[in-house]
Structure 1
Amino acid sequence: MVIGNQRQWLVAWPLAIASSALYGLLFWHGQLYGEASLQLFFIALAAWGWWQWARGQAGQALPVQRMDRRGWIASLGATAVSWPLLGAFLDHATDSPLPYWDALPTVASVVATVQLGRKFIENWPFWIAINAVSVALFAIKAYWLTVLLYAAFIPLAAWGWRLWARELKAAA
């Protein structure tokens, strides 16, 4: 899926739907309710991203683009405001053992997926940070295969960032 995102292949989005469904089940079982709920949201976002990539601007595929200042403020602001709110909710409404650790990658992943769906190059550094936090979260939960997977996502995101930067530069 990540390689499909790097290469801007539409097949990345159905793969995102399948992986989100499987991870939703795993996270629910592990009492990471923020991450589990996020997977349902990812399924809906994947359908939206698929549509955006195929027909995002006047019926034509989206190009790789940069976020403007307003996009940065919205992305960072949404993360900064939503993280403690979701953490507090998970802390009070669930038996999550790590509510704030669970909330941070949950909220930031929503932001990064919206960026990815709009083909903003800035989604890649967001994913690098999210994956680093997720490695720690999953290590605490002893999800060792998932730790390895998310650790592998870090250089894949760096590679995607480089590929998209190259495309952006060629289009300029």
Structure 2
Amino acid sequence: MMSLTEITGFALGLVMVVCSIRELHWSWPLAILSSLLYFFVFKDSLLYGEAGLQLVFATLALWGWWQWLRLGDDAQPALVIQRLPTRGWWLVLITSALLWPTLALLLQHFTDSDVAWWDALPTALSLVGQALLGRKYIENWLVWLVVNVISVALFAHKGLWLTCVLYALFTLMSVWGWRVWQARLKAAHP
């Protein structure tokens, strides 16, 4: 059954992603609020990796907000949309490969999670995606696409139908975000 907490987190989450796509710094305080609400939704559903992730998201959102508000010497935003270099891709792959089993084993041994490995995978990838978004790497949208597809199945398994719809919308919004940022990147570097 949907709760007011889940419904409010759903609405804030949608607005947050639209703001991220448009590079509006308001996405970050919305991320904090949505994450705090979803902490309770996921905790109550025994999705402890996802619940813990929401607390990390709230903290990372403060960092992301600061990153996006910083100005350079020319009083322009210090960060612009950029591509991840080859070295960055290796870092993404290695970090993801280390985080997933680490989080899964922690969930297996210290919680009563019934889906530790499937809970840990989108959790690990979400941490990577959030870091990429905070630094305005366009590839964040590709990571979010993978996270969102996996999450739809996970939340359907848990009967979190509104959140399942949210992550299905997030999947589409990941493609939208990729296209919008790709166009901005091309326009900035013709």
Same fold (TM over 0.5): yes
Moved more, 59-68 or 6-15: 59-68
Q: Which residue of 2 aligns with 1:67?
A: 84
Residue identity in the other structure for 1:26: V
Pair 12,52 (structure 1): closer, same or farther in 2 beyond 3 Å: same
Q: TM-score by structure 1 length?
A: 0.97
C-alpha separation between the residues in 1 aligned to 2:71 and 2:90? Answer: 22
Please report how far the alpha carbon of residue 52 of structure 1 lies from its aligned counterpart in structure 2 after TM superposition: 0.5
Tell me whether 1:22 sits opposite 2:37 in the alignment.
yes
Alignment of 1:3-152 (within 5 A): 3-55=18-70, 60-61=76-77, 62-152=79-169
Q: Single out whichever of 73-82 and 13-22 deviates more from structure 2.
A: 73-82
Aligned residues: 172
CA RMSD of aligned residues (A): 1.1
Structure 1: 5+ residue stretches without partners: none
SS at match of 1:2: helix
Query: Where does structure 1 differ by over 2 angstroms across 4 or more consecutive aligned residues?
Result: 56-60
Q: CA separation in 2, counterparts of 1:100 and 1:7?
A: 33
Deviation at 1:56, TM superposition (A): 6.4
CA distance in 2, matches of 1:16, 1:84: 26
Q: CA deviation at 1:18?
A: 0.4
Alignment deviations for residues 105-162 of structure 1 (CA, whole Å, 9 cap, x no partner): 1110000000000000000011011000000000110000010110011111100100
Per-residue CA deviations over 1:51-74 (Å, capped at 9, x if unaligned) read: 101116567421000011111111
Please tell me whether the aligned partners of residues 54 and 60 of structure 1 are also in contact (alpha carbons under 8 angstroms): no
Task: Measure, in 1, the Cα distance between the counterparts of 2:124 and 2:72.
Answer: 26
Q: 1:96: how far off? A: 0.4
Structure 2, unmatched stretches of 5+, are 1-15
Deviation at 1:93, TM superposition (A): 1.0
SS of 2:81 mapped into structure 1: coil
Larger CA deviation: 23-32 vs 57-66: 57-66
CA distance in 1, matches of 2:38, 2:86: 33
Identity over the aligned pairs, expressed in percent? 52
